[in-house]
Chain A
Amino acid sequence: MVKDIDISNINKDFESRVRLGIMSILMVNEWVNFNDMKQMLELSDGNLASHTMALENKHYLEVRKAFVGKKPETSYRATSEGKITFQKHIEALAALIGKG
């Protein structure tokens, strides 16, 4: 038997593999820059940018643009709202598997 609360915490926002990866990385790291993220997830620029934008619009992550020397660098960090929501998502997944 699965508790109702577990299913409601399965979050459609994290359904895509890429978003799952982005949030996982941001759960255990503070600021992660665009290139590191891209390499770890093995993604193209455009693909990563569109997913981070979607997560930003949901207020799950915040974006910082800074200059490192003369190069602009974009970094991401999970908001506390994002961390809480994602944690609930993980717990819901674990609960579903436990009962499955």
Chain B
Amino acid sequence: MNKYENDLTHIRQMMERSSTFISLSGLSGVGAGLVALVGCALTFYILAQHQIDYFDGKPNYYSYQVIIQLGIVAISTLLLAIGSGIYFTVKKSKKLGHPLWSAATKNTVKSAGIPLVTGGLFCIIITWHHLFYLVAPCMLIFYGLALVSASKYTQSDIYWLGLCQLVLGVLAAVFVGYGLVFWGIGFGILHIVYGIMMYHKYK
């Protein structure tokens, strides 16, 4: 009987291993979350330096200098977050001895990539239309959709992270003017909480 049991376990393992991208590291979430919080803090710092009160409820007109500084913060945040995400995941994949660029990885990247790229373009377009107050809700909503869509091919827990981002995104769209706060909670705090949970669960 033992051989049959071993065979079944082996079958189950190989099916799971080959179809899900399990190398996604919890530390990737923590890293990305910390980067996001630093990005948020820098944004408030830049605004404060130019005597802009983000929460005064009035539409603010930013000078070119402020926009360029904020743009640099935004792009560095994005690159550093992606970089830390990739770094910890490559490290974990090497430790586990799994192929990094497998069919499961490709499926994960593809299913997350379609909503992410669409969302990214959409956010650039609404910025171009000067609808700045909608950028944070849109980022949260498209990111949430990307996570829900990718959850089929990777740790299913990502589904719940995605739902939380969606709820935050919708709330951020209702409470216009607090976009940056919702953004910080979603991309910063939720990532860190999720990352720590995953790190302990899959250690």
Residues of A participating in the B interface, judged by any CB pair closer than 8 Å: 17, 20-21, 24-25, 27-30, 32, 36, 39-42, 90, 93-94, 96-97, 100
B7 contacts A by Cβ under 8 Å: yes
Q: Are A40 and B4 in contact (CB under 8 A)?
A: no
Interfacial chain A residues near B18, Cβ < 8 Å: 24-25, 28-29, 32, 40
The 7 closest A-B pairs by CB, nearest first: A24-B14, A100-B1, A28-B19, A39-B99, A25-B18, A24-B11, A28-B15
Given contacts A40-B17, A93-B4, 5 further A-B contacts (CB under 8 A): A24-B12, A25-B14, A29-B103, A30-B103, A36-B102
Interfacial chain B residues near A41, Cβ < 8 Å: 14
Q: How far is the CA of A31 from the CA of B68 in the complex (A)?
A: 47
The DSSP consensus for interface residues of chain A is: helix
Interfacial chain B residues near A39, Cβ < 8 Å: 98-99, 102
Q: Are B11 and A90 in contact (CB under 8 A)?
A: yes
Q: Are A24 and B10 in contact (CB under 8 A)?
A: yes
Interfacial chain B residues near A94, Cβ < 8 Å: 8
Q: How far is the CA of A40 from the CA of B19 in the complex (A)?
A: 11
Q: Are A20 and B14 in contact (CB under 8 A)?
A: yes
Which residue in chain B gives the minimum CB-CB distance to A96? B4
Q: Are B7 and A20 in contact (CB under 8 A)?
A: yes
Q: Are A90 and B8 in contact (CB under 8 A)?
A: yes
Q: How far is the CA of A24 from the CA of B4 in the complex (A)?
A: 15
B5 contacts A by Cβ under 8 Å: yes
Q: How far is the CA of A97 from the CA of B98 in the complex (A)?
A: 30
Q: Are B8 and A93 in contact (CB under 8 A)?
A: yes
Interfacial chain A residues near B10, Cβ < 8 Å: 17, 20-21, 24
Q: How far is the CA of A50 from the CA of B10 in the complex (A)?
A: 20
Q: How far is the CA of A70 from the CA of B157 in the complex (A)?
A: 40
Nearest CB in chain B: distance from A20 CB, A: 6
Q: How far is the CA of A12 from the CA of B172 in the complex (A)?
A: 60
Interfacial chain A residues near B1, Cβ < 8 Å: 96-97, 100
Q: How far is the CA of A100 from the CA of B17 in the complex (A)?
A: 27
Nearest CB in chain B: distance from A65 CB, A: 18
Q: How far is the CA of A39 from the CA of B98 in the complex (A)?
A: 7
B8, B15, B18, B19: which has the most chain A beta carbons within 10 Å?
B18
